[in-house]
Amino acid sequence: MGIVTVIEAQGLTKKFGDTTAVDNVTLTVPQGALFGLLGPNGSGKTTMIKMLTGQVRPTNGQATVLGLDVMNDPVGVRKSVGIIPEQETPPSFLTAMEYLAFVGAVRKIPDIDEKAAWWFSFLEFEDKRDVLCKDLSRGTRQKLMFAQAFLHKPVLALIDEPLINFDPIMQRKVKEYLSDYVQSGGTIFISTHILEIAEEICTGFAILHKGKLLYSGAISELADKKQHLSEFFFSQVRDD
């Protein structure tokens, strides 16, 4: 049985006026990978995730996620995957608990109270469950967004900057969770500019710079070459 591809992008391009945010990117992500999309600020990582989740329409090219065309069936894609956007956006006037109940109702998730309780406990924010989202700290909002993305146990989660607002203790906990998730058959696609995270948990990675894909491969390939990810990254993104 061959490797199942969960994300497949071919010649994906996005232009905003005269600016090309993503330029002719071809990329595949196999099932069971913890794949990191790496790149400096403004390299097109967020636009790439937005295209893959049907939030932004590509100017050229095509992409499928879990076999669904992101342009023709964006709602179907979002139904199947979990998404954590770069900017945390839980609705201001719902409480944390209400937001998870809201997500549960929209996604038709059974036993939402028990599942929400598990997440409050796991991410250690039970004391915030009845507080309005607008009054939550950045870190707590990110915990909430993290919980909503995994509430329905998706086979694929796309996460934009997954750990940026977490403290070191929570970072470790979440990294362990992501690794376990992949071990149990899930696929994680993260975008980040923090190379240490990628080196520590990713199995595969791609480097995006100024909208262009510079490299795509497995982390193990670097180990074979006895090269650190950061060295390799800087050698790739160095301006000519």
Partner 1 sequence: MGLELFTCMMKEEWRLHSTMFGSLSFALFPVLIFGIVFMSSFLLPLFRVVLPAGDLGLITIGVFLLLGVMVGGFGLLGNEVMNRRFGQMSLLAYSARSLPLSERYIFTNFVIKDIVYYLFLWVLPFVLGFAVASPFIGVPPVYPLLLFASLTMSFLFGLSAIFLLSTVYSRSKTALAILFTAVLVIAGWAYLSYGASLADLFPPLQLLRNGTYLALFLSCILVAIPFTVSIALFTPEYTGTSKRFSNLLTPLTGKLSFFPTPPLAAKDIIDLWRSGGGVGQVLFSFLLPLGLIWFFLSVLRSLVPDYAVLLVFAVTTGIISATMYTWITSFDTFSSYACLPVSVSTLITSKICTFTVLQLVPAVFMVIVTIITGMVLYLIPAMVIWGAVSFYALSVSIYLTGLTPNILVYDVNVLLAFLVLIGVPVMVVIALAFINPYFGVAALLLGIPAFGLVSKGYKRWEGKEMASF
Instruction: Identify which range of 88-96, 164-172, 189-197, 209-217 contacts partner 1 by CB under 8 A.
Output: 88-96
Q: Which of 38, 66, 97, 170 binds partner 1 (CB under 8 A)?
A: 97
Tell me the torsion sign for CA atoms 158, 233, 193, 207: negative
- Least distance (Å) between residue 78 CB and partner 1: 4
Pair type for strands 34-38 and 19-30: unpaired
Q: Which of 26, 40, 57, 124 binds partner 1 (CB under 8 A)?
A: 57
Q: Find residue 38's DSSP bridge partners.
A: 192, 207
Q: Which residues contact 120 (CB under 8 A, 6 or more apart)?
A: 96, 97, 126, 128, 129, 147
Closest CA to 36 of 181, 153, 234, 192: 192
Pattern 100-139, partner 1, x by CB under 8 A: -xxx-xxx----------------------xxx-xxx---
- Least distance (Å) between residue 57 CB and partner 1: 6
Point out which residues bind partner 1 (CB under 8 A). 50, 53, 55-57, 74-76, 78-79, 82-85, 87, 89, 91-95, 97-98, 101-103, 105-107, 130-132, 134-136, 145, 148-149
